[in-house]
Every structure is written in C-alpha cells, then in structure tokens.
Structure 1
Amino acid sequence: MPPKQEETAGKRMVMCAKFGKEMAGLDEVPFDGHPLGQRIYDHVSKDAWRMWVEHMKMLMNEYRLNLGTKEAQDFLLVQMEQYFFGEGAQLPPDFKPQTPKH
C-alpha cells in the first residue's frame, strides 16, 4: 500500500521516517531505479534528506571514500539505510567534531 501523500500548497507530503511526522517530501527520487531511492522518496522529508547530505559529507571525509568505487557506494547505501530506517547515524570511531574558530 503506498504511503499517504497529500498535496498541500503544491508540496508533496510524506510521513517522514526520520522525524515521525508528516512533512514536505523530496521533489524527485534519489538514485532513480534503485529500491532504496524509491523508499527514501516515499518516506523521507526534505529536511531529513538535507541532514543526511551533511552526514554523508562527514562520512566521505572521515573514511576518505572514493565514490568511483563500488565498495564506497555500497558502504554509503548501507549507512543511508541505517540513517533513515535502522539504528540511526553511527559516527566513525575516531570522529571528533570541528570546534568553531574564534
């Protein structure tokens, strides 16, 4: 059964898996043709997607991922699945957030 989607003021609404409430959905399917992309489109809000993009940048930098490799792509897909639909975001073991410079 497809998720509840309503058009509200021109916005496609989804029940966001990350926030647990109805929010504006993505405008297009990420990773078109991949089942996870469709699942994200159906169940993830724009706000949650923006948070993922920032988390993904951190993962790419911390793990020095080369997205040209299948291993890096597969790693990010697993992380994305966990971020939205699993246990949530896991930080790399040695991750230290940057402190703002004054």
Structure 2
Amino acid sequence: MSRMVQCIKLKKEAEGLDYPPYPGEIGTRIWQSISREAWQQWVDIQTRLVNENRLNLADARARKYLKEQMEQFLFEDRDVEAQGFVPPSA
C-alpha cells in the first residue's frame, strides 16, 4: 500500500515518496511533506534548469543553485523555470 502525505506543494493528500530523495534534513522534510507527483514536477524542472543553463553538477555553485530553486519550488510555492524555456505546445 502507498504511503500518503499531506503535500504542501499541491495542497492535497497524495501518494508519498518511498524514501527521502535528498540527503540530510531537507530530504526528510521532502519525504514527510511532498508527494510523489510534486517531486516529479520538480525533477522535470530541475532537468530543464540543468540543460537550459548548462549546469555542471560537479560544480558546488550549480548544486547550491539547484537546491535553492528546489526549496523555492517545493516549500515557498514559487514558480521556478529555466530562462528561455518554452513548453512544447499540445
């Protein structure tokens, strides 16, 4: 049976993640209060941020930037998107 969480991003009860997706305290916080659906939304945005900004994940500054964007998206209800990204038309 799936674990349910009260997702603070989607503002509804939804299926939770199986384990903390990020190390440390923030990973625990995500696991406790972010749904699988909201996490997948973040993963998609993160992929675009890395690609559009040509981020090198070996660079500590790039990882810090992504972590800040992740926290803003998941916990501060901010819209985060890559500069110049145009969603494909349906």
Q: Give TM-score, length-normalised by structure 1.
A: 0.79
| 1:37-83 Cα deviation digits (max 9, x unpaired) | 11110110001111111100110011111111111111111000000
2:67 pairs with 1:67: no
Match in the other structure for 1:6: none
Match in the other structure for 1:5: none
Amino acid at match of 1:69: D
2:53 pairs with 1:42: no
Structure index of larger Rg: 1
Match in the other structure for 1:97: 86
Equivalents in 2 of 1:62, 1:15: separation in Å? 32
**Structure 2 runs not aligned, ≥5 long:** none
**Structure 1 runs not aligned, ≥5 long:** 1-9
Shift of 1:96: 3.5
Amino acid at match of 1:96: F
Amino acid at match of 2:85: K
Determine helix, strand or coil for the equivalent of 1:14: strand
Q: How many pairs does the alignment contain?
A: 89
Match in the other structure for 1:13: 4
Taking only the aligned residue pairs, the percentage that are identical comes to 37
Q: Give TM-score, length-normalised by structure 2.
A: 0.89
8 A contact 1:16–1:44 mirrored in 2 = yes
Shift of 1:98: 5.1
Q: Which has the higher contact order (CA 8 A, sep 6+)?
A: 2
Equivalents in 1 of 2:9, 2:45: separation in Å? 14
Give the alignment's Cα RMSD to 1 decimal: 1.5
